């Protein structure tokens, strides 16, 4: 018995060794050839199938462009919208079991820092990826904000998402006597004057029109107004800006300066069309994907002309809102192919130029931006060049204080603001209850 077993295992070992020799030979052959010819791989040399998952349908239109550039790569792409956290649920469940599928996947501003901390994404700063070499062409904050604890880049993005403020020209004319963006910006670029503008809107229309659809529209630039993270040395820090926001939210509600709805609720969308609200504080993507289709749906579908009743002005503070990053699954078996797609989407000038021109989205490659920013005249904005504005704003974006739990912490603050603004809670209680809510998110953090 024993001897036979040994024979079998020896045979197995031998055959395995033979197998691995063959395997090595096969794997080494192209490398040797490459070294000899010193010829870099062309796009057509990349061959195979890769799996890409994303919560956003934008990639659906990008994949054909990639497959055209890489004729021998076939992308099996799946969209899983994150409604009810299902995308996060699927990614987490899959990657916790160290699955090699998907080869590349996206993460959104709200949670991509969590992906970075967990090491879901392969660090790509060094060889064989050398993403650092791309930095000179990219808006720095985009790759920088994906750096892990070792300072390595883990993901790229095709877009940068600086913020703006959009207003209705007809309301500006009624209230200020002019719709000139520079004059309006004088009122919108300072928070105190912005509030004053709100009072003027109310007086002009006797309370039937509002400055904002809801005070929560201000939250994104408020959240960017801080000089340190929320958690410093395991202790909660509440920026002064958040406290101001809570007070101003209540003033706005009490004085009829905002219409009383909440960002992303159905009435918020409908207020864009019915001309009851002057300003929306939205970033790059907000113009094309939120404001245009909801404010003038017919024109957006090409069935009518844009009225040109909108314009872009400077918001009370610079900010960045949202954004989608794509990285390589650290467990993928096809990292070389996955890197090609990450690099293509996150830096390729031809692709990004095509993308910017076909969608109007603001891209992350500075060379492309410089090349095309002169040509934009947005009919929805009465011919204004939003691209040139965003190009300036993108330089001001500072997300160095972003942390993995910002989304949860900011939501908790928003909940308390709503209770204070509606008169259901005192200021001090709201702050105290916020601290309790942070304790729910991060039980070990010192909140006092």
Which residues of this chain interact with another protein, rule CB under 8 A? Answer: 51, 55-58, 60, 76, 78-81, 83-86, 88-90, 92-97, 99, 101, 114-115, 117-120, 259-262, 265-267, 269-271, 273-274, 285, 289-290, 293-294, 297, 408, 411, 415, 418-419, 422, 424-425, 433, 436, 440-441, 443
Q: What is the bridge-based pairing of β-strands 277-280 and 165-168?
A: antiparallel
Nearest distance from C-beta of residue 152 to another protein, angstroms: 16
Nearest distance from C-beta of residue 200 to another protein, angstroms: 19
Q: How far apart are CA 179 and CA 436, in angstroms?
A: 45
115 or 245: CB nearest another protein: 115
Helix (H) or strand (E) holding 51: strand 48-54
Nearest distance from C-beta of residue 290 to another protein, angstroms: 6
Q: What is the bridge-based pairing of β-strands 324-328 and 104-108?
A: antiparallel
119 or 308: CB nearest another protein: 119
Nearest distance from C-beta of residue 434 to another protein, angstroms: 11
Q: How far apart are CA 363 and CA 353, in angstroms?
A: 8
92 or 204: CB nearest another protein: 92
Q: Which of 333, 323, 351, 328 is nearest to 129 (CA)?
A: 328
- What's the Cα-to-Cα distance from 245 to each of 23, 63, 167, rounded to whole Å? 63, 41, 21
Neighbours of 392 (CB within 10 A): 12
Nearest distance from C-beta of residue 248 to another protein, angstroms: 17
9 or 358: CB nearest another protein: 358
Nearest distance from C-beta of residue 293 to another protein, angstroms: 6
Nearest distance from C-beta of residue 97 to another protein, angstroms: 5
Contact call for residues 55 and 81 (beta carbons, < 8 A): yes
CA quadruple 237, 240, 242, 246: dihedral sign: positive
Q: For residue 326, which phi and psi values (nearest 5 degrees)?
A: -125, 135
140 or 404: CB nearest another protein: 404
40 or 151: CB nearest another protein: 151
Cβ-Cβ contacts under 8 Å for 348 (sequence gap 6 or more): 69
9 or 60: CB nearest another protein: 60
Omega into 422 within 30° of 0, i.e. cis? no
């Amino acid at each position: 018995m024993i001897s036979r077993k040994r024979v079998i295992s020896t045979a197995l070992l031998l055959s395995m060794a033979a197998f691995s020799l063959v395997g090595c030979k096969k794997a080494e052959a192209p490398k040797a050839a490459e070294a000899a010819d010193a010829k870099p791989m062309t796009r057509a040399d990349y061959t195979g199938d890769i799996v890409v998952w994303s919560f956003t349908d934008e990639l659906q239109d990008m994949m054909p462009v990639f497959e055209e550039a890489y004729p021998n790569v076939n992308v099996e792409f799946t969209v899983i919208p994150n409604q009810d956290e299902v995308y996060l649920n699927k990614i987490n469940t899959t990657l916790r079991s160290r699955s090699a599928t998907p080869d590349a996947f996206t993460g959104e501003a709200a949670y991509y820092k969590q992906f970075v901390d967990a090491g879901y994404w392969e660090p790509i700063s060094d060889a064989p990826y050398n993403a650092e070499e791309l930095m000179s062409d990219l808006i720095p904050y985009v790759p920088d904000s994906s750096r892990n604890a070792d300072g390595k880049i883990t993901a790229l993005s095709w877009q940068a998402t600086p913020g703006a403020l959009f207003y209705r020209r007809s309301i500006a004319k009624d209230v200020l006597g002019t719709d000139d963006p520079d004059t309006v910006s004088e009122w919108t670029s300072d928070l105190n004057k912005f509030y004053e503008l709100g009072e003027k809107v109310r007086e002009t229309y006797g309370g039937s029109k509002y400055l904002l659809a809801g005070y929560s529209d201000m939250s994104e630039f408020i959240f960017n107004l801080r000089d340190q993270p929320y958690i410093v040395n395991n202790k909660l820090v509440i920026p002064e800006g958040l406290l101001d926001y809570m007070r101003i939210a209540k003033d706005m509600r009490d004085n009829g300066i905002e219409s009383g709805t909440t960002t992303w609720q159905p009435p918020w969308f409908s207020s864009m069309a019915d001309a009851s609200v002057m300003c929306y504080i939205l970033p790059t993507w907000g113009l094309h994907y939120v404001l245009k289709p909801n404010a003038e749906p017919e024109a957006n579908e090409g069935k009518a002309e844009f009225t040109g009743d909108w314009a872009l002005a400077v918001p009370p503070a610079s900010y960045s809102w949202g954004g989608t990053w794509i990285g390589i699954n650290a467990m993928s078996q096809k990292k070389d192919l996955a890197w090609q797609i990450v690099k293509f989407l996150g830096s390729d000038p031809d692709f990004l130029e095509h993308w910017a021109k076909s969608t109007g989205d603001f891209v992350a490659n500075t060379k492309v931006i410089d090349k095309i920013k002169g040509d934009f005249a947005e009919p929805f904005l009465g011919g204004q060049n939003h691209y040139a504005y965003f190009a300036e704003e993108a330089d001001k974006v500072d997300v160095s204080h972003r942390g993995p739990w910002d989304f949860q912490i900011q939501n908790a603050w928003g909940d308390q603001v709503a209770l204070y603004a509606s008169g259901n809670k005192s200021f001090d209680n709201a702050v105290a209850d916020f601290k309790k809510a942070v304790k729910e998110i991060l039980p070990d953090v010192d909140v006092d």
